[in-house]
Amino acid sequence: MKGFEYLQSELDEMKKQGTFRTLIPLESDQGAKVIINGKEVIQLSSNNYLGLTSHPRLRKAALEAVENFGAGTGSVRTIAGTFTMHKELEEKLAEFKHTEAALVFQSGFTTNQGVLSSILTKEDVVISDALNHASIIDGIRLTKAARKVYNHVDMADLERALQESKDFRVRIIVTDGVFSMDGNIAPLPEIVDLAEKYDALVMVDDAHASGVLGENGRGTVNHFGLDGRVHIQVGTLSKAIGVLGGYVASSRTLIDYLIHRGRPFLFSTSHPPAVTAACSEAIRVLLEEPHLIERLWENTTFFKDGLNHLGFNIGKSNTPITPVILGDEALSHQFSDKLLEYGVFAQGIAFPTVAKGLARVRTIVTAEHTEDQLQEALDIFEKAGRELQII
């Protein structure tokens, strides 16, 4: 069809530079090993930290919900699409996060968009870490609030931004709890101290911290002992929780406001029963099976030590997200392709997901991996790394 030549030329340029990608479909369920192109490979690319995507208890909860409540909900939450199970999940999440209330959105992405776009006006200012997730950036774009971006985890620069923001009605600092591409944890205690000094609100996006850090995976706020001092906690139900969705845990006032003004909440249909029931079951699993998080951290230490020992540049991560930083975009994709050929699925990640010159292969181990599987993966990293003269 004619009309898209202007897009095709950009795609052709990507092909020339070796950065054009095709989607890689899985032919099995998500797990420590997956089937790709008919071959079993070790999965190191998913966000399935605790193996909950295919946990027997979640499968069962989803199946029972379909049997009893059907496949869909037929409405947005505010009209006819709130079932008792939606309320139950939100009560569970609020209790889990030690907050007054919680509200579920369709995804983590729409949660950030919905929260930021609805609670700020042109009288306010949002102060954002330079490496925050795209959904935070897009949420900020949708507000009329003033914007300030501080250098990544640079507390002096954050303080400068706060000093420049004294005349606004509301100052809100927004940060990822764990940065998704580098795996480092935000310096939340310092951020909260500065917020209190300058009378600012704090919003933390714990997409990669929920189910990973804090007591039973409550996230970075709990990990740092800051319960009650962070105003807005965003989480996703799509990563460690293993299903789909996002939520905000906060005060009753904020949640009531979002029920009336949060646009994705108001204008997009609620989660189907299977999704909602499986998410609730996942929270129960977090509370009842803490050994999953212990295994996750044992595997993290084992795999990071192994990569380090082989001489890869693994950045400054202190979570299960471990980047292998190569810099060159084409090389990252080449390395990823070679790893897949030898039996490891670890995706290359390049611009616009990370800055130009910082392309990488990103890995995430899960609680499900065995030490043998991780050793096999390290051997494959070594072989592919030597062939491409990375190490």
User: Looking at the annotation, which residues are catalytic?
Assistant: 180, 208, 239
Q: What is the dihedral of CA 299, 301, 302, 307, to 10 degrees?
A: 120
In this structure, are residues 36 and 25 in contact, taking their beta carbons and an 8 Å threshold? yes
Nearer to ligand PLP, 73 or 106 (CB): 106
- Count of beta carbons in the 10 Å neighbourhood of residue 387: 12
Tell me how many residues contact ligand PLP (CB under 6 A): 14
Site membership for ligand PLP, residue 107 (CB under 6 A): yes
Nearer to ligand PLP, 113 or 373 (CB): 113
Options 135, 233, 280, 336; binder of ligand PLP; rule CB under 6 A: 135
Nearer to ligand PLP, 150 or 381 (CB): 150
DSSP letters, 354-370, are S-TT-EEEEEE--TT--
Pairing relationship of beta strands 171-176 and 201-205 according to DSSP bridges? parallel
Site membership for ligand PLP, residue 117 (CB under 6 A): no
Please give the distance of CA 84 from its chain centroid, rounded to a whole number: 27
Size of the chain in residues:
391
Residue 167 CA to residue 175 CA, distance in Å, equals 22
Nearer to ligand PLP, 281 or 382 (CB): 281
Determine the interface stretch with ligand PLP among 12-20, 106-114, 219-227, 343-351 (rule: CB under 6 A). Answer: 106-114
Interaction residues for ligand PLP, span 202-241 (CB under 6 A): 205, 207-208, 236, 238
φ, ψ for residue 290 (rounded to 5)? Answer: -65, -15
Determine the interface stretch with ligand PLP among 56-64, 107-115, 280-288, 366-374 (rule: CB under 6 A). Answer: 107-115
Does a cis peptide bond (omega within 30 degrees of 0) precede residue 352? yes
Site membership for ligand PLP, residue 246 (CB under 6 A): yes
Radius of gyration of the chain (CA): 21
Site membership for ligand PLP, residue 182 (CB under 6 A): no
Nearer to ligand PLP, 348 or 385 (CB): 348
- Comparing every residue's Cβ against ligand PLP, the nearest one is 108
Please give the distance of CA 348 from its chain centroid, rounded to a whole number: 17
Contacts to ligand PLP by CB under 6 A:
107-109, 112, 133, 135, 176, 180, 205, 207-208, 236, 238, 246
